[in-house]
Amino acid sequence: MPEFSSLETGQVVAQREFPVTRDSLVRYAGASGDFNPIHYRDDVASQVGLPGVLAHGMLTMGLAIQPVLSWLEDSGEVVDYSVRFTKPVVVPATGEAVVSVVATVAAMDEENSKVRVDLTTTFEGNTVLGKAQAWVKF
């Protein structure tokens, strides 16, 4: 398990790739209650001018924090988590959209034993979450 004293700014603490499929979107719709059809119907997505069926922004936000939770185990907890949704993740009818997350220590708050972890979250080479920052309290 990570210890606060062993961390330093710039350190990559976790990374993971997530294969997002249409199944993932249906599962998230059910779990979250967000049944907006742009997240599962191609015809509706194209009617409103989207490039295709999109992953829920909140699904991307939800998965992006997972590498941090796995890294932390019981050593700390997320006390503040924020993102900007900068680009959509288009999920094809078959196959998968791979979302990649790299978690890096960006700031240390020695006084409060808190660490800011920034989540570089990309899809097809584009950043899909801007200013994705989680404060972790140790």
Partner 1 sequence: MLNPEIQGKRYPRTRPYTVGLEKLREFSAATFGNTADGFVVPPTFPIAIQEHSLSLVIADPEAGLDFSRVVHGEQRFIYERQLVPGDELTSELEVASVKSLGGNHMVTFNTEIFDKQDKLVCTAISTLVVRGEDA
- Site for partner 1, rule CB under 8 A: 18, 24, 27-28, 30-34, 48, 57-59, 61-63, 65-66, 69-70, 77-85, 134
Least distance from partner 1 to the Cβ atom of residue 35, Å: 11
Which CB atom, from 53 or from 83, has the smaller least distance to partner 1? 83
Burial of 108 (0-12, 13-18, 19+ CB in 10 A): middle
Nearer to partner 1, 78 or 90 (CB): 78
**78 or 108: whose CB is closer to partner 1?**
78
In whole angstroms, the minimum distance from the beta carbon of 28 to partner 1 comes to 4
H/E element, 126: strand 126-137
Listed in sequence order, the residues at least 6 apart from 11 whose beta carbon sits closer than 8 Å to its beta carbon are 104, 105
Residue placing its CB nearer to partner 1 in the complex, 61 or 91? 61
Lookup: tokens for 99? 């979302």
3-state secondary structure of 135: strand
